[in-house]
Structure 1
Amino acid sequence: MAIPVFEPWNDPDEKPLIQFQNVTKRFGDFTAIDNLTIDIFEREFFALLGPSGCGKTTMMRMLAGFESPTEGKIFLAGQDIAPVPPNQRAVNMMFQSYALFPHLSVWENIAFGLKREGMPKPEINARVDEMLRLTRLEKFARRRPHQISGGQRQRVALARSLAKAPKLLLLDEPLGALDRKLREETQFELMDIQEKTGTTFVIVTHDQEEAMTVASRVAVMDNGQVMQVATPADIYEAPNSVYVADFIGDVNLIEGKVTATGEGTFALHWRDGAEPLRVKSPTGFSEGQTAHLAIRPEKVTISAERPADAANAVQGKVLDIAYLGNLSTYHVELPTGDIIKAQTANTRRISRRDYTWEDTVWLSWTATGGILLAN
């Protein structure tokens, strides 16, 4: 039996859990959030991604109740949350620093919020034990935070945040303090825990890989505005602007003027004397319109000879090589001075690579390999 695909945003009958409606937030003359409208659905793992100062943390602080919108409304489960104080919202927040109590054990840290609420002792015991099992911390229940690793402290903070069964958990750069290998492991643990609890997670991060790994959808932000909201695959393969294409992953951007050559096919005139590039695009363009071809390095094939049937082929000289273990990225300089990156998978052990510095090579790609963007 096929597992149903989780896509509530494509279901017109689904009601969002969180709704930002025309929300603007100003600090004096500075506009941190600019007329933002966005929906987040129940059980989503939603990522707010963008550079420092783009407004993602301000959005999170408004959800938590630490800031109020200057204009517009924020709804949680259909309720306007502006008048609801932070401690009465069905929202919990996990900070980058974890903010654990050093003098309390792991067990007591998780129980702290439940005791403050006056939950009966048997229920506290059952709930804390459940959280310890969920985060695989049973063996460390009696230890203090300084007696466990950074990754384990991160799980304690997560267990404490989930103990009160919030509708919504906000995670502010939660993996920033972990080393790369541990961060990657913890990303999958977070996804697993989110799926098991069914809690809606909203994560703020500037780490693209993290957002692309954990999220059901990603909102790419810039200067207080959401540039695109889509699944990680769509953000990467079908960016809606040059900004999003350039922000997510590695990309070659080639600017030129567009002319139509048929139904959904275009020629991109990009350099005087250079052969136009052939592109298929579902988006229409007017004759002579300026556009950018965005093409990922892994979609570009590198070869010693010109491929006979390539839709697009350009010749150049290898300028730089970045060896990344599993991949090699070749920076190839064209006679026009443009540099195009091509990526190859290192699928076998080699004593000498096929192409080296100063080699003349051909780069080729299909008409559907890149995406044509108007801005």
Structure 2
Amino acid sequence: MQQTANGCGFAPWQDPNEEPLIRFEGVTKKFGEFTAVDRLDVDIFKGEFFALLGPSGCGKTTLMRMLAGFEKPTEGRILLDGRDIGPVPPNKRAVNMMFQSYALFPHLSVAENIAFGLKRSDMPKTEIPGRVDEMLGLVQLREFAGRKPHQISGGQRQRVALARALAKAPKLLLLDEPLGALDKKLRQQTQFELVDIQEKTGTTFVIVTHDQEEAMTVATRVAVMDHGRLIQVDTPDRIYEMPNSVYVADFIGDVNLIEGNVASTEGERVEISWAEGQPLIVGSSASPLAAGTRCSFAIRPEKVAISAERPPDAVNAISGNIHDIAYLGNISTYHVRLDTGHIVKAQTANSRRIGRRDFTWEDAVWLSFTDTAGIVLTG
């Protein structure tokens, strides 16, 4: 979880003396002429809940399959605890994998499913019942130990699959879209259960998902992928607040993007010329920018205030008319059309029960935001 990464001081990637559990060194994977993973370097540390996030075909599943041993790198090395695992077959790796389908044996009970891998391991047979009971307790399924998979819910089947994957105490657990088969409400609940179990066991989790909310909820760090490359690897809050490119800003969450040119800079403060007859937009940039640089101003809708009058002390204020309204229960999103034709989204929290909306379609409004609310991107 985000809180784990930032609130509790867990950040081994910031410690130059910390050795990673997993290291990708110049890893490339090709299928014929197609490059699925392209010269990838990344370190994953012990105890992380690491998310690989990206659209279909970006290379995240190929990356996971190489970790599991189902695919071999075309170039480069993958190290696990300092050892090159390229030559190590899947069944000899200290790695386990949990699939979206869960792959439970329908004729075996919950307890027997969890015990299945243990019976084929080096664990003494006398120790297996105790380990199964420990796993049942971990996933809170002791009372369902004798049931078959079809006699329990989808969320419970997911926990059986997780218990079975963790039973052999792998150094690394790979989760391939593990919650994709669950409905939204159950998926959200199970995300927190996953984090709780990961923290209790201390096992390193690597999850593949295309669900941004899922990655942001569970991960200590998120790796955003596109066309076989890592675009940004960072904590969820930094991925959201400090994207390093237009691609990441646009892929993670909702964002307004306005193109323009740098008019002037002073430290991190940047003024952007973006439309004739419109006031300059004042934003911030993490890196120095020269005047005239083509750029995009990215700002999240929740950081844009909407009002009937121009706020007198606003650093940035733009006028327009409400083009559309999306009522989402807890929030409302206003789509405001500017005189330039741009559509800018502003969000407000619905903190009171609906009586009458402050604004409706075609109303003239002002959008305002601070000079640090948005970020200037050039990539």
TM range (shorter): over 0.9
Q: Structure 1: which amino acid aligns with 2:68?
A: A
| 1:325 paired to 2:332 | no
Match of 2:40 in 1: 36
Secondary structure of 2:213 counterpart: helix
Match of 2:150 in 1: 146
Deviation, structure 1 residue 3: 7.7
Superposed CA deviations along residues 156-208 of structure 1, whole A, max 9, x for unmatched, are: 00000000000000000000000011000100000000000000000000000
Match of 2:192 in 1: 188
Change (3 A) 1:305 1:74: same
Q: Structure 2: which amino acid aligns with 1:363?
A: L
Match of 1:235 in 2: 239
Match of 1:14 in 2: 18
Deviation, structure 1 residue 278: 1.2
1:258 to 254, 257, 262: 262
Please give the root-mean-square deviation of Cα atoms over the aligned residues, in Å. 1.1
| 1:136 paired to 2:173 | no
Match of 2:286 in 1: 282
Cα pair 2:99 2:175 within 8 Å, conserved = yes
1:157 to 135, 149, 161: 161
Deviation, structure 1 residue 260: 1.9
Match of 1:311 in 2: 315
| 1:58 paired to 2:67 | no
Aligned-residue identity in percent: 71
Match of 2:72 in 1: 68
Deviation, structure 1 residue 279: 1.6
Match of 1:363 in 2: 367
Question: With structure 1 as the length reference, what TM-score do the two structures score?
Answer: 0.98
Deviation, structure 1 residue 280: 2.8
Match of 1:110 in 2: 114
Cα pair 2:285 2:377 within 8 Å, conserved = no
| 1:85 paired to 2:58 | no
Q: Structure 1: which amino acid aligns with 2:20?
A: P
Secondary structure of 2:111 counterpart: helix
In the alignment, the residues of structure 1 paired with residue 284 and residue 86 of structure 2 have an alpha-carbon distance, to the nearest angstrom, of: 47
Superposed CA deviations along residues 4-38 of structure 1, whole A, max 9, x for unmatched, are: 51000000110000000000000000000000000
In the alignment, the residues of structure 1 paired with residue 37 and residue 184 of structure 2 have an alpha-carbon distance, to the nearest angstrom, of: 31
Cα pair 2:265 2:291 within 8 Å, conserved = no
Deviation, structure 1 residue 264: 2.7
Change (3 A) 1:339 1:66: same
In the alignment, the residues of structure 2 paired with residue 133 and residue 121 of structure 1 have an alpha-carbon distance, to the nearest angstrom, of: 20
In the alignment, the residues of structure 2 paired with residue 187 and residue 264 of structure 1 have an alpha-carbon distance, to the nearest angstrom, of: 37
Deviation, structure 1 residue 274: 1.1
In the alignment, the residues of structure 2 paired with residue 9 and residue 100 of structure 1 have an alpha-carbon distance, to the nearest angstrom, of: 35
Change (3 A) 1:146 1:53: same
In the alignment, the residues of structure 2 paired with residue 178 and residue 333 of structure 1 have an alpha-carbon distance, to the nearest angstrom, of: 37
Superposed CA deviations along residues 94-142 of structure 1, whole A, max 9, x for unmatched, are: 0000000000000000000010114222210110000000000000000
Match of 1:200 in 2: 204
Aligned pairs for 1:115-126 (under 5 A) are: 115-126=119-130
Superposed CA deviations along residues 272-292 of structure 1, whole A, max 9, x for unmatched, are: 111111123232111100011
Secondary structure of 1:305 counterpart: coil
Deviation, structure 1 residue 341: 0.1
In the alignment, the residues of structure 1 paired with residue 183 and residue 224 of structure 2 have an alpha-carbon distance, to the nearest angstrom, of: 24
Q: Structure 2: which amino acid aligns with 1:85?
A: P
Secondary structure of 1:329 counterpart: strand
2:29 to 16, 25, 46: 25
Match of 2:3 in 1: none
Q: Structure 2: which amino acid aligns with 1:250?
A: D
Match of 1:210 in 2: 214
In the alignment, the residues of structure 2 paired with residue 3 and residue 32 of structure 1 have an alpha-carbon distance, to the nearest angstrom, of: 35
- Unaligned runs of 5+ residues in structure 1 are none
Q: Structure 1: which amino acid aligns with 2:250?
A: D
Deviation, structure 1 residue 261: 4.3
Superposed CA deviations along residues 287-342 of structure 1, whole A, max 9, x for unmatched, are: 10001110000000000000001010000000110111000000000010000000
Q: Quick check: 131-140 or 121-130, which moved more?
A: 121-130
Question: With structure 2 as the length reference, what TM-score do the two structures score?
Answer: 0.97
Q: Quick check: 7-16 or 257-266, which moved more?
A: 257-266
| Aligned residues between the structures | 374
Secondary structure of 1:59 counterpart: helix
2:99 to 95, 98, 109: 95
In the alignment, the residues of structure 1 paired with residue 338 and residue 355 of structure 2 have an alpha-carbon distance, to the nearest angstrom, of: 27
| 1:338 paired to 2:342 | yes
In the alignment, the residues of structure 1 paired with residue 253 and residue 283 of structure 2 have an alpha-carbon distance, to the nearest angstrom, of: 21
Cα pair 2:51 2:209 within 8 Å, conserved = yes
- Unaligned runs of 5+ residues in structure 2 are 1-5
